[in-house]
Amino acid sequence: MAKPLIFEFDGAEIALRMNKVDRARLYGFKELLVLDEEGKPCDLATLAEDGRKVIGRGGTGIGYLTADGQWVSRDELRPVNLEGETIVPVKSSLGQTIRLDNVATMERFLDHSIRLVYFLEQDETPIPESLLETLRAGTIYEFEYSYRGGLVADAGFLLANDEGELFLLVGEPSEIHFVGLRQAAPVSTDDDAPASADDEDAMDFGMI
């Protein structure tokens, strides 16, 4: 079982268990099973570039080479930014104490693309009512979040719904490029429109 997230609020520590919310849990999922003529499951293989060799699962890998083609082990690598400065890795947020002292505005929250959603449940210690009231009122707390640790931390947002259920949303800043007033942009006409625009926005239940 993964370690809980530990928050500090008004001098009290709150441990919360994380439950990932994904499409499979919400809508279910389908698996495609490929069988041969005898009804036995097939394994995925890769055809080499020469068109003759078949490479089975586990037969390929990733390696690191220098500019002159010399092999480099992973422990010899070091991360740097665009200026060549060494990047200090961030630690995992699990098991550490995260202080809830940075309130995010709604504009700040909406400027992020959310890619992960977790439902949070109290582990052992009860959630303080003062924190629940603050979150129910619409307060959003922001903090740096990293599940395993890595080079860059994501933005984590702690919020709650009207029932007081807590959620962690993980995302990164959206990169939006605006078109200038003098920049030409294509203009579509009615002749270019599809036969039924509503069909494009309809949900494909076959994908669920």
The tokens of 179 are what? 């078109």
Length of the chain counted residue by residue: 208
List, for residues 41-59, the tens digit of each pLDDT value: 998 888 988 988 999 888 8
DSSP string, 11-64: TEEEEEEEEEE-HHHHH-------B-TTSPBPPP-EE-TTSS-EE-TT-----E
The tokens of 13 are what? 């520590």
Q: What is the DSSP letter of 75?
A: G
Q: List the Cα angle 129/134/139 in 5-degree steps.
A: 150
Q: How confident is the prediction for the chain on average, in pLDDT?
A: 85
Question: Phi-psi bin for 191: left (phi > 0), alpha (psi -120 to 50), beta?
Answer: alpha
pTM above 0.75, yes or no: no
Give the span between the Cα atoms of 136 and 164, in whole angstroms: 6
Give the span between the Cα atoms of 104 and 33, in whole angstroms: 46
- Closest to 138 measured CA to CA, from 171, 160, 120: 160
List, for residues 82-112, the tens digit of each pLDDT value: 888 888 889 999 988 999 999 999 999 999 9
